[in-house]
Structure 1
Amino acid sequence: MSLPQHTDATLRYQQQVENSRNYVLPFIAREFPDLRGLRVMEIGCGEGGVLTPFLEQGCDCVGVDLWPERIELAKGFLGSYAESGQLRLIAKNIYDVDFFGEFRHAFDIIILKDAIEHIPDQHKLIAYLKELLSPGGQAYFGFPPWYMPHGGHQQICQSRVLSFLPYIHLLPRPLYRGLLKAAGESQGTIQELMELVDTGISIERFEKIAKETGYDITQRKYYLINPIYKYKFKLQPREQFGWMKGIPFVRNFFTTCMYYMIKPKAAQ
């Protein structure tokens, strides 16, 4: 069953703000205790809720999204910050030459919240972020590991049964597609969920990419219960058990969210 926030932009924005204020910002602030004046970019900013607490802390922010309609929603929520010049909202591909030319080595913090699992060629993207980070800058990632119970984002299904059914995204591709079709899901929903089969990312894959592209992981946090599940399933956030965090691959199945901070390795 589709959740209210999937169709209510105001509710979605409010939930993003609360989640960012209580969980994302404090995690990032461990690396950057004094946020005032820092330049922050969010890739896939949507309605701008994740950036709002950073704006409140005095950061200069840029929100980028491929969908112009979502940028227009963000302007509606954050118009005062945009008018003052503290925030820029851009509907553009970050690989565009003019974007790169303007923002090369510009950002102290780059945020990808619930975004990396939707992006093809993650290796290319994570490597490219080094060209946008300032010296000493870091990138934050928050994402659901692919193998966890709802790693396929099946909560967007209209079917009440499928939206709560765990691990169905791990079925063989033809069987998964057939199940979605038999349940009456729209072609758009089926396409979105099947794309995630290709782009979903595990803990081990993310850390391997970070290493291969020349980053150090400066922080990581495992969640048994994703903080965003407070809104989706009325569950209270909870960090993963210590012993589970230490079991490679198996932890993917029981960790519903990962937070990371990564920093380019110093030149040798």
Structure 2
Amino acid sequence: MIYKAPEKGMPMLQDHQNFDVDEAFEVGLSETGNLWQRLGVKPDFTGLDVMEVGSGLGFLTADIALAGAKSVLGIDTWEPRVEWGTKKLAQRFPQLTNARFDSTPTNDMAGEARFDVIVSQNTFEHIADIDSVLNSFRRLLRPGGRAYIGFSPMYHSPFGDHGELRARVRLPWLHLIAGRKRVIAAYNKANGENVTTLIECGFNALKPADFRRAFLRSGLVVESLRVNPTEGGLKQRIMDAFALISKIPGLEPYFATGMYVVLRKP
């Protein structure tokens, strides 16, 4: 499992029925710069082979292809998203011949040293087996290649359930106060499922220290790691305050909302 599948009966996608997929694609496309700002660097994709893991609607895959990449492979393990993304790019950017989508998990992809860059946005908080996915990144990257990974919100942070609890009023940390059983019950009710664990709902519930250890175990070099970066303004001031509070022993999981890391294959 790469990441959480969408709710049943909600094609494409989010946690409410009036979700406009085409509008979300355009908004996402206009905001791709946020990822690079949070990472602190935007790669020059010119002439590179790139893979995006957790491509979703495909707007980041499209943006990278438009930036001059030699090829871009968007990976999404939910087949309807792959189909939708393929059709959307053909419709929105008919000139693009360097981008495609596939539903094969990175763990099952053949070969090695296939990509110069791997990008993943808002996916790692859902991955069930971080170590195996990072191992696949190391195998699939060419020597000197980099993985740019950014994800938020982590499960223990203020809104880490991604709205899954479906409370009438969204309050910070409410899902933690309610407890995992209630989050799972809300997921089952909304999706007609009968799962028993958070991971089956799509949340690995890993804490920042767990991610740091996984990055170090991966055999990839951690070139940079940022906690709680945003795009400035009031939100940035709040995140800066959260970052300070997170330094107090025991509080980091609750105030570290997002992590943005650059890894390099030696």
CA deviation digits over 1:105-143, x for unaligned, max 9?
Answer: 111211221111222111111122100111111112222
Give the secondary structure class of the aligned counterpart of 1:131.
helix
Deviation of the 1:82 alpha carbon: 7.4
Distance 1:56 1:197, change over 3 A: closer
Deviation at 1:157, TM superposition (A): 4.9
Q: Is the 8 A contact 2:106 2:136 kept in 1?
A: no
Counting only pairs closer than 5 Å after superposition, residues 69-84 of structure 1 correspond to structure 2 as 69-79=80-90, 84=96
1:138 maps onto 2:140 in alignment? no
Find the partner of 2:116 among 105, 108, 127. 108
- Matched letter for residue 173 of structure 2: Y
| Aligned counterpart, 1:65 | 76
2:156 aligned partner: 147
Find the aligned partners of 1:263 and 1:10 in 2 and give their Cα distance: 34
2:96 matched to 1:91?
Answer: no
One-letter code of the match for 2:30? E
8 Å Cα contact 1:5-1:11 kept in structure 2: no
Q: Is the 8 A contact 2:45 2:67 kept in 1?
A: yes
Amino acid in the other structure paired with 1:45:
S
1:193 Cα deviation from its structure 2 partner: 8.5
Give the 3 Å change call, closer, same or farther, for CA 198–145 of structure 1 in structure 2: closer
1:211 corresponds in structure 2 to 216
1:124 equivalent in structure 2: 132
Deviations, residues 69-116 of structure 1 (Å, cap 9, x unaligned): 1012111221166774311211222233xx323xx2111211221111
Deviates more, 1:185-194 or 1:116-125: 185-194
Distance 2:156 2:149 in 1: 17
Q: Match for residue 7 of structure 1?
A: 19
Structure 2 alignment gaps of length 5 or more = 1-13
CA distance 1:29–1:126, shift in 2 (3 Å) = same
TM-score by length of 2: 0.77
The equivalent of 1:51 in structure 2 is 61
Residue type of the alignment partner of 2:72: C
State whether residues 112 and 141 of structure 1, in contact with CA within 8 Å, keep that contact through their aligned partners in structure 2: yes
Aligned amino acid, residue 133 of structure 2: L
Cα contact 1:203–1:249 (8 A) shared by 2: no
Say whether the 8 Å CA contact 1:240–1:255 is kept in structure 2: no
Name which of 24, 35, 48 aligns with 2:35. 24
User: Cα RMSD (Å) of the superposition?
Assistant: 3.3
Secondary structure at the aligned position of 1:116 is classed as: coil
Tell me the distance in 2 between the aligned counterparts of 1:91 and 1:197.
17
Q: Find the partner of 1:194 among 175, 191, 198.
A: 198
Partner-residue secondary structure (3-state), 2:83: helix
Q: Aligned with 1:117: secondary structure?
A: coil
Match of 2:254 in 1: 253
Name the aligned partner's letter for residue 135 of structure 1: P
Q: Tell me, yes or no, if structure 1 residue 174 matches structure 2 residue 181.
A: yes
- Compared CA separation, residues 128 and 142, structure 1 to 2 (3 A): same
**Identity level (%):** 24
1:204-240 per-position Cα deviation (integer Å, ceiling 9, x unaligned): 111111112222221222226x66xx9xxxx855553
TM, length-normalised to structure 1? 0.76
CA separation of 1:141 and 1:47: change in aligned 2, threshold 3 A: same
**For 2:174 and 2:37, how far apart are their aligned partners in 1?**
33
Structure 1: which 5+ runs fail to align?
A: none
**Secondary structure at the counterpart of residue 157 of structure 2:** coil
Q: State the 1:62 CA deviation.
A: 0.6
Shift of 1:248: 5.8
Q: Which whole-Å CA distance do the structure 2 matches of 1:38 and 1:220 have between them?
A: 23
- Cα separation, 1, equivalents of 2:55 and 2:196: 18
Partner SS state of residue 151, structure 1: coil
